[in-house]
Every structure is written in C-alpha cells, then in structure tokens.
Structure 1
Amino acid sequence: MESPSLAGTLGGLKVLEPSDLPRYKAAVAKGRQVGWGYYFPYLLARNRPGRRVVLLGEDDGSMCVFLWRRRNHANTLDLLVAPTPMNVSVLRRCLERANDFNRNRTARVLRIDAKDSYDVSRVASLRVRERKTQYVYTPTAFNNLGGRSYRTLRRQLARIAELTHVDVAPYSSAHEPACLALLREWARRHRAQQGTAGGVATAYRVIELVNRFSATDLRGEVVLIDGRVCAFSFGGEIRRGVGCFVEAKSDNEIRGLSYFQRYSFLSKMQEFELVNDGSDAGRAGLRQIKNSLRPSELHKEYRAFQIQS
C-alpha cells in the first residue's frame, strides 16, 4: 500500500512522530481532556507503515490529528481525535479537508472527549454517538484495600500471594523477547476463543515504542513467576495529573494474575490524580476485573458521523 503524499489536500500536515510529544501534550493540557484515546503513545501506535498513517497539523492553536488509511478499497481520511483544545471553527475546517480528500462526506471524528462532545454536537452536519465507557481510577485509593468493596480484589490477590517466586519488575529491553512471546500466545488463545486477535497490534507497537519515551510518558512493568514473564503492563501521562493505562496482557491460565497485574501497576501511578484504564471492550471477564478495582468514575468518549444529505 502506498503512503500519502503530503501535498494538495494534505498540505501542511506531517506524519506524527515522537518529537511531536511536547507540543501535543501542551495542547491537551489546555484542552484538559481525560479520554483514553488522547494518550500520545496510543496515537503514535496507530501508525503502521504500509497500512495506516497518523497525520498532525495545527490550526489556530489547536492540534489536528488525522488518520489516513485504506478503507472500502479507497484511501480515506478521518479525524482521529477532535481538535485539541476543542475549537468548533477548527473542527469545521478539519472536516472540510477530510471531505475534500475523500470526495464525499464519510469522514468521521473517531474519538471525542466527554467535555468536548457538546461543542462537537453544535456542528449541524454531525451526529454524535457514545463509545464504550472507560474506567478511571484514583491510584491513592489502593493504599487501603479494607472494606467490602475490595473483597473480590483481595481474594484474587491472595491467589498470587500463595505462589512462590513471584517478582514484579520495571520493564526493560531485556524483557522484550519474553513479552512478545507472551503476546503471541495470548493472541493465539484469544483468536481460538473469540475469533479475533483482540487488538494485539497496538500492544506490539507499544512494546516497540517504549524505549523512545521517558518513564513519565510511557513505562512498563512485568510480572515474573518462577523467572518467567507471565504478564506485562504499560502506561504513562496523558497530561499533568492524568495518566493512561494503555496496555496489559497476561497468562490467563494463572488464576488471579489479571487482577494482580492491574492492581500492581495502577497502585504505583500515584503521581496522577486519575488514571484512565480504557473500556472493557465488551468482554465480561475484563469488566469484572475492572469493576473489582472500584473505579472512581466512568468516563465517556464519543464518535461523530456526518449526516448524509
């Protein structure tokens, strides 16, 4: 598949790269978004050479993030997130650019933070719909697991406490081969059970990117049992005070491990007032795990479609 030519309709845009992090985060700090989809390493992970390209522009002080890809046998352009900080006039211009590129009105706004959804709905040509609910935690709450609300979590953590030789360590490049092997096995099992690979492409890209960022912006943790990597977690800062738990995979054959890895990682993110752990992807098991950690709030992200005239 060809890559986009950054001329004509795409003139003034550039391919998103790690060096864009400071100005992107400055824009999110002004916009005060909390949504999982606004986390910079996640946006960067959507870049997949030969398949899709994330493009960045700036208009009147707002960051404009587009997704170019092949869809329905044609090259298409969508807004990956709403302009940040949100600006209705900028949004209209972004849609005009995407419509000109697509030569129709199929361009969408794929992720819209809850605080921006009303402003997006003011654009008469757009219909706004809710995406899956996201789980947001207060890491300091894990300092005390007493009381009935954490009963399920305590029971699951006790399963891991019964095992011998359980170690938790910061992720390093030395763990990469074992994490990739775990990811391949996780994908194989998920495909056998659910018929899909479970979105592992993002996990592969996060592992690839982790050493290109500071620990503030993207860090990882691994759980080793008898010296074997059995789980990994990654996350970092969306903006000051707000973190993102972007990726987690574990050996699902080890009872309690999925609970333990999330608790372990989230409880260490105490420099953040809030950490967004994304949605449960419609999976009942993941929903149970995330509810057992007692989210402090449920956050909404939205998607917008153009009304076809």
Structure 2
Amino acid sequence: MKALLDKISDRHHMISVADTTLLKDIFSQTGRDSWAYFAPFLACYSLPPKRALYLTEKHDVFCLFQYSGRINSERIDLVIPPSTLTREVKAYLLKTKDLLQQVNMRILWVDSSDINTLNELFGEDIEIQEKENEYIYDPKDVFCLAGKKYKDIRKKINNISNRKPVFFELEEDDVPAALDVLDKWRSVQGRKNKFLFDWGYTRVALNAVGQFDNTDVRSWGLELDKKLVGFSMAGPINQNTACFFVAKTLMGIKGVSEYLRWRTFEMLQNYDFVNDASDLGIDGLKQYKRKLRPYKMRTVYTATI
C-alpha cells in the first residue's frame, strides 16, 4: 500500500482522530453538507487493518482513499470526491485506477452538488447511482414538538421526563459506562442486523471523548435512576448544518431513545439544519426517523470510475 501511495501522491498518511481539524479545514473549502463530510466520522471510520483511510496530497489536491482488506480480496476506493475537480484531477484519477490493477474504482459517497461536475468531467468513464436518502431536520421544530404531528413522540418524552432523567455533558470518566451501553445495544441489534455499520466507529468515537475539540464534536449522556442508559454525539458539518453523529440507548426502556434525541436537538438549535444520516434500509429505523418529521430528504450518491 505504501509503495502505491508513494507513486500517486506527494504526501500521504493514515488518518486518525488527530486529523479531525485538518479534515475540517479541507472540507470547509468544499461547502458540502452530506453526512460523510462530518470530519470526526471519517477520522473514526478508519479501522485498520481491515479498513484504513489514507489522506493523500498531490499538487495541492487532497484525496481520501479507503483500503479494504479481506481474505483473498483487497481493493482501494475513494471515500469522497477529491477536494478539487478539474480535468487534471480526472487524468490523475484515471491513472490511479490503472495503477490499482482492479476493474474499477468507486467513490463511496458523492454529494448531490458534485453530480453535474463529475458527469461533465468523466462522461462515459463514470457511472453514478443513488446510494441513500439522508434525513434533514429543523432542530428548532423538533425540540418545540408543537402540533398533532408530534403527539406520539411528545407522550413518550413526557413519560421519561416524569422520571427525572439527567442529561449531561459526557466526560472521559463516563466512557466505560457508555461502552457498556454500546455493547448491550449491539448484543440486541446484532441479532436483528448482521452488519452493524456504525458499531466500530462509534466505539472509536467514545474512546476519543476528551481528545475531540468541543467545536468539532460534543458528547452527552443520559441517566435514569443514577444509571447511564444512553449517549449521543453531534457537531458541525459546516456553519449551517450539524451532524447527528451517534445516539445509542439501552433497549427495552420505552421513550428513552426519543428523549435522548429530543435533548440532543435542543443542543443543536443554533444550526439551521441537522443531518441525521440515512435509515440504512432498515424498516424500523425508517419509521422511527419519520416520526421526528424531517424537514426534507437529501439524496447521496455513489460513483464508479
């Protein structure tokens, strides 16, 4: 992998939580608001050796590559489009694809605002498909919970409120209890969904509490009867849009998930919108997210070169 990266870049390194600020600086020039542009997510999404993300720089153009290694199978793809899209960058990507000695190279997440540029640049050399729809909320509207549309959720939240829950800023000392909540959540959800996309990066993010700058991501915990029953994390994608990064609660406590999300939306009211990612095609998650009444849906794409 190093030999290949040496060929295609001036500088490169495997990213980690320490690269969050650097990624934010790079993304600030693109103005994208897809969930994948939340820098802490990408910093935690790199899980070597099976999945490692490498940031490369070539002639002031940044690329984020993903290495995926499985038994008898290895491949390299772009995570998102390069920081700049020009004819020179197109030539560079096509040359990189040839060096990979694989049938194609994917761009895993493509913001809708990049579709026209990619089509104009690559023409028949690229295939773009819809990947998923992300839920975009008005945080003020969700926290207000006004009107009949929020009746069911309002009832569940009131039931938890009557139990005197404690919603607080999560600190390093709280991480072991939060990891325990995550493990218990996984033990239940793992039986329903064989592949839990977010378990790995959520664990990394929890272990990084205290390392993140508060301007990049904030973390909260929720206690009932002096016991941690859930946690959430969120932060800015850009000045206008926040990312609802993670939210996990103990299963079987009616209303606790809704209460945790409601209080987290309260913390995000300074933003115009909150991107709460997709529903991963899971029917139960789709129903749950629709109950929070999204302001709009935003389509994210994937591309193959």
**Partner residue of 2:136?**
136
Q: Do 2:230 and 2:249's aligned partners in 1 also have CA atoms closer than 8 Å?
A: yes
Deviation at 1:190, TM superposition (A): 1.2
Distance 1:57 1:174, change over 3 A: same
SS state of the match for residue 81, structure 1? coil
Within the candidate set 101, 104, 124, 1:103 is matched to 101
Q: Do 2:50 and 2:70's aligned partners in 1 also have CA atoms closer than 8 Å?
A: no
**Deviates most, 86-95 or 293-302:** 86-95
**Any idea what the Cα deviations from partners look like across 1:148-205, whole Å, max 9, x if unmatched?**
222222122123123x241111111111111111111111111223334453111111
The aligned length equals: 302
RMSD (CA atoms): 2.2
**Partner residue of 2:167?**
168
Deviation at 1:85, TM superposition (A): 4.7
**Partner residue of 2:194?**
195
Within the candidate set 113, 118, 130, 1:115 is matched to 113
SS state of the match for residue 84, structure 1? coil
Percent identical: 24
The amino acid of 1:119's aligned partner reads T
Q: Do 2:126 and 2:303's aligned partners in 1 also have CA atoms closer than 8 Å?
A: yes
The amino acid of 2:188's aligned partner reads R
**Deviates most, 131-140 or 153-162:** 153-162
The amino acid of 1:7's aligned partner reads D
Deviation at 1:288, TM superposition (A): 2.1
**Deviates most, 4-13 or 199-208:** 4-13
User: Are residue 146 (structure 1) and residue 156 (structure 2) matched?
Assistant: no
The amino acid of 2:235's aligned partner reads G
Distance 1:252 1:28, change over 3 A: same
SS state of the match for residue 78, structure 1? strand
Deviation at 1:11, TM superposition (A): 5.2
In 2, Cα distance between the equivalents of 1:255 and 1:59?
Answer: 52
Distance 1:53 1:4, change over 3 A: farther
Gaps in structure 2 of 5+ consecutive residues? none
**Partner residue of 1:84?**
83
User: Taking structure 2 as the reference length, what is the TM-score of the superposition?
Assistant: 0.90
User: Are residue 184 (structure 1) and residue 183 (structure 2) matched?
Assistant: yes
**Any idea what the Cα deviations from partners look like across 1:9-51, whole Å, max 9, x if unmatched?**
4553222244544443233223211100111111111222322
In 2, Cα distance between the equivalents of 1:211 and 1:53?
Answer: 23
Distance 1:7 1:86, change over 3 A: closer
In 1, Cα distance between the equivalents of 2:63 and 2:20?
Answer: 13
The amino acid of 1:116's aligned partner reads D
In 2, Cα distance between the equivalents of 1:267 and 1:202?
Answer: 24
**Any idea what the Cα deviations from partners look like across 1:120-169, whole Å, max 9, x if unmatched?**
2331211111111111112222353221222222122123123x241111
In 1, Cα distance between the equivalents of 2:94 and 2:150?
Answer: 46
The amino acid of 2:116's aligned partner reads Y
In 2, Cα distance between the equivalents of 1:56 and 1:89?
Answer: 19
**Deviates most, 6-15 or 291-300:** 6-15
The amino acid of 1:112's aligned partner reads V
**Deviates most, 5-14 or 251-260:** 5-14
**Partner residue of 1:271?**
270
SS state of the match for residue 102, structure 2? coil
